[in-house]
A and B are shown apart, each in its own frame.
Chain A
């Protein structure tokens, strides 16, 4: 295995990990506030569609991004409305959102574009261009570091860098601000937060809206940066993989980055070597595709450390009377 192959794998890893990263951080905010979010997949999909559709009509990827975020936030609010205001079952509401997104995107796409549930291909400014980081060309010839910097880090869409910045930002918000403390407290012991005079309902709405925004960026990245347009069901289970990554990371931001990079790398390796020959055994493609879930189950089962979800997760908050 030469350096060029490693660079290619790492490049691919970063690109594949980015939508997972946004979605995983979205889940992090929501679940840390006590709202389980199975609907990540649906929000990702609806954002992918609306950003592609608006980017097509306006010719601007940025306007597409805003539309994707708006659509995703609307879906997040539906989830919030059902599970916070009406204290419904959060899992059922999330599943409903996934179904709604899968059906609605295709129907709307079909009636707008008549292309079998796709949007027309995007080109030019309707897509996020790859941008080069400073000194990328100058450093290209430096051994090892050169290709890593110039090819892996540089030359990605602006959304990739946004994703990487979102990790420290999430950490800072959750662990260094009053807002973050309250948000985490709402997910652990909402009654205590309520006693302190903070509105549990409002905090939880903030959390699902932030989740909506992050899913929106992830969806826009799928359809206007990685691909050039929307294809039905194009999220292809990434919302669920992100959920697995969230559990793998034990609901912590930096670990989320590690988890999505690991899962992204598994996919990149599976794409490069469909049947991975390890000398003694050959791992089939299907095994690589299943590995994120297997790892998550191992973590959940408590073989490696212990994954403890936020204590009040999944439970609607009812004020004592």
Chain B
């Protein structure tokens, strides 16, 4: 074991201060943590100081969505700067705190992590390592050495709402949300505002899959909701529903209507049938954090249209679906929002929306 994970003496030195600090009572817990930490330890051997590190949330590096975007950003940084970074894929809920702590302990700086579930463990760990800079994406931790990155999802949704309304031939577009939470309502609200801006007569149908976490992973229900929306005339559907969205996009394909992907560029899933995707540029957030290094500005950072944090995807898979008219109109809206001339209402600010998204 020693040969595999570096010298025993080194490991002991690393852990001793913590053991004394925590005292007898937590020793048992610590042993358990140590035992589980061996996987993390494997990554640490031969670490150079002040390299950045990245922790992926459950779901893993190649989840075709959120985490994969983070990976893309880190890879881009590594290619452009020739720098090195370390990363780890969490395998279970219990590894969160230990993963952050190990990276901080080994001298990685900054330590970047994705997902709001990291907020609670980070709050504990960040206070113990005041000299390390931490970045949390999609969550807020109010400590001087933490940068909290949030996204202006409503602005991106506004753009794809415009695209939807302009592509619709029936004047009816729809939205399938995952769990009915303020974040998802912000998606719906931005989408409805954009659709209405592009076509004041448009009818926007809004559905949420459920009110429990099961709503994120119910493609069957997503598919049936889409079928119900199609029967009400919808011919463009936007899914912001995690795994449920897979069913939404599939049903749209089966029944011959257009769909809109979310988070990462999902245009390639059904080329020629996905109108566009509302992208959350997690890759840019990771790239920025890695580039800025340990001395980055901390506090809450909003990734909006102006800072390239959200956007709509155009690539070879959907080029044929995007008309010049759409490009012009959406481009103009992008400029206006970025310049602050056009304000998209964020549902999260006051829990209301100018257009009903109940």
Contacts and interface: CB of A to CB of B under 8 A. Distances in A.
Given A12-B227, A121-B269, A233 B63 contact: no
Interface in A278-294: 285-286, 289
Contacts of A232: 217, 243
A148 interface: no
Interface in B164-222: 180, 206-208, 210-211, 214, 217-221
Most buried by B among A11, A16, A271, A289: A271
Contact of B59 (A117, A234, A237, A275): A117
A228 B246 CA distance: 8
A4 interface: yes
A197 B64 CA distance: 58
Contact of B224 (A115, A267, A275): A267
Contact of B243 (A231, A237, A267, A272): A231
Given A115-B62, A115-B63, A116-B62, A271 B224 contact: yes
Given A226-B220, A226-B223, A229-B246, A274 B358 contact: yes
Contact of B210 (A5, A229, A231, A289): A289
Contacts of A286: 211
Nearest to B213: A233
A182 interface: no
Most buried by B among A116, A234, A237, A268: A116
Contact of A16 (B208, B224, B244, B269): B224
A5 B217 contact: no
Contacts of B180: 285
Contacts of B65: 116
B219 to A, nearest CB: 4
A114 B60 contact: yes
Given A115-B62, A115-B63, A267 B231 contact: no
A221 to B, nearest CB: 9
A88 B132 CA distance: 52
A116 B67 contact: yes
A110 interface: yes
A234 B220 contact: yes
A88 B131 CA distance: 55
B217 A222 contact: no
A255 B22 CA distance: 61
B140 to A, nearest CB: 24
B60 A110 contact: yes
A232 B65 CA distance: 15
Given A4-B231, A116-B65, A121 B224 contact: no
B310 interface: no
B60 A116 contact: yes
B228 interface: yes
B122 to A, nearest CB: 22
B231 A5 contact: yes
B309 interface: no
B250 A116 contact: no
B243 A234 contact: yes
9 contacts: A8-B228, A12-B224, A16-B224, A116-B62, A117-B59, A231-B217, A231-B219, A236-B214, A271-B221
Interface of B: 59-65, 67, 180, 206-208, 210-211, 214, 217-221, 223-225, 227-228, 231, 243-244, 246-247, 250, 269, 358
Interface of A: 4-5, 8, 11-12, 15-16, 19, 110, 114-118, 121, 222, 226-229, 231-234, 236-237, 267-268, 271-272, 274-275, 285-286, 289
